[in-house]
Amino acid sequence: MRDLTISLLQRELAWEDAAANRRVFQQDLAQLAGKTDLVILPEMFTTGFSMRAEIIAENEAQATLPWMIEQARAHDFAITGSLAVRSGEGIYNRLLFVTPDGEVSHYDKRHLFRLSGEHRHYRAGTERQRVSWRDWRICPLICYDLRFPVWSRNAGDYDLLIFVANWPAKRRLHWRQLLIARAIENQSYCVGVNRVGSDGNRIDYCGDSLVLAADGKMLLDCEAEAGAFTVSLDATAMNEYRRKFPCHEDADNFKLT
């Protein structure tokens, strides 16, 4: 297992304008070619956190997924982020994880944010996802999932926990503290990628994208700055910490049903 270099794209999002957002992110992706293994975009990175699901949702093979495949292949890194996707008879807040060889995995947001009415416009996912990329086992989750530790519990099956988000500035304390908690309790690298700016509902976002080590140490704090941020995750350090402090061996044995 080698080290993994990851890049976080913390940007303001054009409201409900997928083409404009892809153009901005495409510039970032081109600058990261040859410099990273994995690029992480925010939640609903093509539109912002819009509840107009019927209008903004893309079909599974519409514009954004082919674009992600093209960008991953061109630059030889994986790309992940969520968007509104129409699948079957429902619409999901769906995270896509795309590798350079065109392999696509997805995770549908489990916990829908009822304060915004998300549960009335999107269907909830029912299954957790584990993605393997360059020898790392990755658990990708979305925004409000961060508040539910049982759903993100590490059963010895991942090394990197990712949360993509549109997390509002007025609850930034919760965002930062919960990310630290998730890293410590799961003895895993934990990454949260948020957005900046204001959306079409006049909700403000302050960024605060973070990268945390398995012991909770802060490795990267993007604060409120817009841009691309890159950091390397040390596999040896994580495994050595788990070996020296094996609290996972005393974890309660249970499964979600």
Structural domain includes residue 24? yes
Structural domain includes residue 77? yes
Structural domain includes residue 256? no
| pLDDT of 1 higher than 70 | yes
| pLDDT of 245 higher than 80 | yes
Which residues form the domain of 150? 4-250
Instruction: Give the rounded percent of residues in the chain with a pLDDT score beyond 90.
Output: 94
Residue pLDDT, tens place only, 39-53: 999 999 999 999 999
| CB-based contacts of 223, cutoff 8 Å, min separation 6 | 206, 207, 208
CA distances from 51 to 6, 44, 163, 195 (A): 30, 11, 20, 17
| CB-based contacts of 88, cutoff 8 Å, min separation 6 | none
Residue pLDDT, tens place only, 105-159: 999 999 999 999 999 999 999 999 999 999 999 999 999 999 999 999 999 999 9
Structural domain includes residue 257? no
| Active centre residues (catalytic) | 43, 109, 143
Average pLDDT over every residue of 200-229: 98
What's 148's domain CATH number? 3.60.110.10
Question: DSSP per residue over 81-122, as a string?
Answer: EEEEEEETTEEEEEEEEE-TT--EEEEE-SS--GGGTHHHHS
Average pLDDT over every residue of 148-171: 97
Structural domain includes residue 231? yes
| pLDDT of 60 higher than 90 | no
Average pLDDT over every residue of 247-251: 87
3-state secondary structure of 151: coil
Structural domain includes residue 149? yes
Structural domain includes residue 255? no
At residue 94 the predicted structure's pLDDT band, cuts being 50, 70 and 90, is very high
| pLDDT of 256 higher than 80 | no
Q: How many domains does the chain have?
A: 1
The whole-number pLDDT of residue 7 equals 98
Instruction: Give the rounded percent of residues in the chain with a pLDDT score beyond 70.
Output: 100
The whole-number pLDDT of residue 120 equals 97
| pLDDT of 257 higher than 80 | no
170 neighbors 148 (Cβ within 8 angstroms): no
Q: What is the mean pLDDT of the chain?
A: 96
Residue pLDDT, tens place only, 62-78: 899 999 999 999 999 99
Average pLDDT over every residue of 238-251: 93
Residue pLDDT, tens place only, 3-57: 999 999 999 999 999 999 999 999 999 999 999 999 999 999 999 999 999 999 9
